[in-house]
Each structure stands twice: as structure tokens, then as C-alpha cells.
Amino acid sequence: MFAYRFQFFLSLCSCSPHDTLRWVRNALPPISPSERLLCGPGPSNVEPAVLEAMQRPMLGHLDPEMHEILLEVVDMLRRVYRAQGGLVLPLQATGTSGMEAGLVNLVEPGEKVIVGSSGYFGARIAELARRRGAEVVEVSAEWGEHVPNRRLLAALDDHPDTRLVAVVHGETSTGCEHPLEALGAALRGSDALLMADCVTTLGGVELDFDGWGIDYAYSCTQKCLSAPPGMSPVAISDRALDRIRARRAPVPFSLDLLLLQDYWVERPATYHHTAPILHIYALHEALRLTLEEGLERRWARHTEAGTYFQQLATCAGFELLAEPAHQLAPLTAVRVPDGVDGKAVQSELLAEGIEVGGGLGPDAPAIWRVGLMGPNARTDTADRVFESLTAAVESQAAVAVAG
């Protein structure tokens, strides 16, 4: 105790009078987070213009001016999702709540759901569907493989009373992309709705909600859209809306899409909750920049950066986890070579200011997950991450040999 007090006294002596006053009043200094190049599975770095948008004057959530901004966000989201019918809006929540909102609004307890699962997030859909009380038919594949559509369709043949088929478009835990367009085409005419997790694909990978026959899609703001985490844009088809209107079981108030529609889209707007005004400004700016760049150009930029990084990695002898024909562009899972401490490599990169991810969850193989999303979807960023990664691997390999 005495030693602690003495140390405290010494720290006061070395402070400026202003700092000393603060100590005496027991106030902490403001935070000053380090600059990071965020090249993990997300969040990615936020565009400076998006951060600036968050500093514009606060409006109230019931201000008519704010309601115009909401409609602009919805309109831009429709263009980014390519969803003209049904309902489109962002939830005040992250991607997981977008997933949960889809399940609770579209599935009633006891109903059947088919889930394609070959990674952490496919398994999460299955888990949330079970929590909803659904009967889940999980169609699984190894991590790094995609679940072939023919297996999902065979499950549907075996369970014709299925209400919903759910897949992950971009499985961030493995870097594998699901052939979603083909699944939508194959399900056309079926009574089962198609739900797609587009958390890692919206704004970075080709996606056509209407054209591909998707009924419910959810995403996030913190990856290819380059805004901070905190919102989950969702799109709902007309027939999915009919299903929601006919639902018998109640849904949690905060995820009730019909109530949310009354605030986001219907005018005059009806209060549902206090909207996160500054996050909405951020999303508005992120969507504006996305459309200004052009969707096709943005997808091409993500493809170019991702495939460039993948070529660098494979040419250098690294092995990728995802099957090559289904490799996702914005996220690459690189296997950690034998004898290398993957976590130590991540720490070395972080000390240099670069964040990359590791394996997610207990079932994950030893991998690094490198995300080139939003402003980081560039070949020069890919070069920087790759050079730092290889340098860290060499230094860790040297440590292993020495040890």
C-alpha cells in the first residue's frame, strides 16, 4: 500500500500542473487509440469522409430533416443491394442481429430451416435458428469448402415442408464464397425462402438481391462499406414481407421489421427507438461514396486486391484454406505453416500497426485471415501486408529454430 502511494506521489511530481489537477479530480485523460491498418476480417478502416460526416450537427431522431436523411439512406441501400421491391432498411445493430432479425421474422417455432454450414457463421445461423425453436437441417462441409447447392437441394427434396434455406455468401471464417446466384436460380418456384448472409460481401462482391431471387439478406457497415460497426442493412423481398405479415408468433420488439418500417419508410414517421443519428450520417456518406465509385468498379477493385494478395501468398509457398474455385476476394485465409507460431506473427504485425485476424472459434484450423476491404482493397495495401507478414513469419521461424 505504501509503495503504491509513493509511486502515485512520484507520478504527480512528474506531471504538468494541468495533469496534476486532473489526477486530483480523478479524471482520466482522453483516449488516444493507435493508428492501425485494419486488414483482418473486419472492421476495416473507415473512409475519412465517413468519419467527417459523423461530426456534422446532431439532429433529433424525430426531426423531419432527419426523416429525409433516413429515406435517402434507404434509397441508396436499395441501389447497393439491387433491391427495388419489398423493404430495405438498416437495423441499429451489427450483422448478428441482422441474422437474428431474419430468423425471428421469417421462421416460427417448430418450422423447418435448411442451413448450409462450412464455417463459423454458417454454424451461427444454425444456432440462432435453433434458439428460435426451428427444426434445423444442417448441411455441412469441411471448413474451406463450400456446401454444394445440389446437397442443399437434395435436403429440400427430403424436407419439402422447409420454410427457409440459409447460406453465407462470404464465409469470413474461411474465405469461401457460396455460389449464391445459382442457388437463387435453383430455388425459383420453391415455397422455401432464401436467406443470405452478405456481411462480408455487400459493397465488395457482386450481389443482385432482386435478380438472384434472394428473399432476405443482411449485412454490416464495417467491412466493404467502410463505415464503423453498429448498423446492419437488411433487404426483404415482397414474398418474405407477406410471410412476415401472416406470422403468428410475436417477434422481439427491437427486431420487428414491420415496426421498423414505420419509422424508416412510412411518413409521418412513428417513433420506434432513438436512432443512432451519427451512425446514420456515417452510413449515408459510406453509401454515397460507394455509389459515386460505382458498384461494378468497387467490386472489381476488391477482386483485384484480393486476387493479387492470393497470388503473392501462393507464389511464396503459402497454402490458402478456401477451395480455389470458391475463393472469396475480400477475405483470404492463409494456413499457418508448420512450426510457425501464428499468434506471435499476428502480435508482430500489430506492433507494426497492422491488424490481421487468426482462426475464429474452437473448430478453426491454424490460419491468418487477411481482409482487403473498403479503403484497404488496394494492391499497394496488399503489398504492405504481404511484406510484413512474410518478414514476421521469417523472424518467428528463426525464433523457433533458435529455441
Ligand X SMILES: Cc1ncc(COP(=O)(O)O)c(C=O)c1O
254 binds ligand X (CB under 6 A): no
Residues 370-389 that bind ligand X (CB under 6 A): none
The number of residues that bind ligand X (CB under 6 A) is: 15
Of 94-102, 209-217, 266-274, 370-378, the window that binds ligand X (rule: CB under 6 A) is: 94-102
C-alpha neighbours within 13 Å on the C-beta side of residue 291: 15
Closer residue to ligand X in complex, CB, 105/172: 172
Distance CA 118, CA 22 (A): 52
Closer residue to ligand X in complex, CB, 99/333: 99
Closer residue to ligand X in complex, CB, 177/348: 177
Among 42, 102, 184, 371, binds ligand X (CB under 6 A): 42
Distance CA 25, CA 314 (A): 56
In which order are the strands placed within the sheet that holds 331-335?
331-335, 367-371, 357-358
Closer residue to ligand X in complex, CB, 168/329: 168
User: In this structure, are strands 170-171 and 135-140 parallel, antiparallel, or unpaired?
Assistant: unpaired
Among 194, 195, 220, 322, binds ligand X (CB under 6 A): 220
Residues 150-179 that bind ligand X (CB under 6 A): 168, 170, 172
- Measure Cα distances from 390 to 312, 352, 386 in Å: 10, 13, 6
144 binds ligand X (CB under 6 A): no
187 with 165: CB under 8 angstroms?
yes
94 binds ligand X (CB under 6 A): yes
**3-class SS of residue 170:** strand
95 binds ligand X (CB under 6 A): yes
Closer residue to ligand X in complex, CB, 96/390: 96
Of 95-103, 106-114, 308-316, 375-383, the window that binds ligand X (rule: CB under 6 A) is: 95-103
Angle at which helices 238-245 and 257-264 pack, to 10 degrees? Answer: 120
Of 66-74, 89-97, 255-263, 268-276, the window that binds ligand X (rule: CB under 6 A) is: 89-97
Of 8-16, 88-96, 146-154, 341-349, the window that binds ligand X (rule: CB under 6 A) is: 88-96
Closest Cα to residue 229, out of 376, 374, 345?
374
199 binds ligand X (CB under 6 A): yes
Distance CA 286, CA 279 (A): 10
197 binds ligand X (CB under 6 A): yes
102 binds ligand X (CB under 6 A): no
How large is the C-alpha radius of gyration of the chain?
23
Q: Give the dihedral sign, CA 72/74/78/84.
A: negative
Residues 109-128 that bind ligand X (CB under 6 A): 121
CB of 398 to ligand X, least distance (A): 33
Q: Residue with the closest Cβ to ligand X?
A: 95
Distance CA 159, CA 135 (A): 11
CB of 360 to ligand X, least distance (A): 8
Q: 25 CB contacts (<8 Å, ≥6 apart)?
A: none
Contacts 24+ apart (CB under 8 A), 46-51: 46/226, 46/227, 46/228, 46/282, 46/374, 46/375, 47/226, 47/227, 47/285, 47/286, 47/289, 47/374, 47/375, 49/285, 49/289, 50/226, 50/227, 50/228, 50/282, 50/285, 50/286, 50/289, 51/282
Of 83-91, 194-202, 265-273, 309-317, the window that binds ligand X (rule: CB under 6 A) is: 194-202
Of 26-34, 48-56, 90-98, 287-295, the window that binds ligand X (rule: CB under 6 A) is: 90-98
CB of 169 to ligand X, least distance (A): 8
Of 50-58, 74-82, 91-99, 273-281, the window that binds ligand X (rule: CB under 6 A) is: 91-99
Interacting residues toward ligand X by CB under 6 A: 41-42, 94-96, 99, 121, 168, 170, 172, 197, 199-200, 220, 229
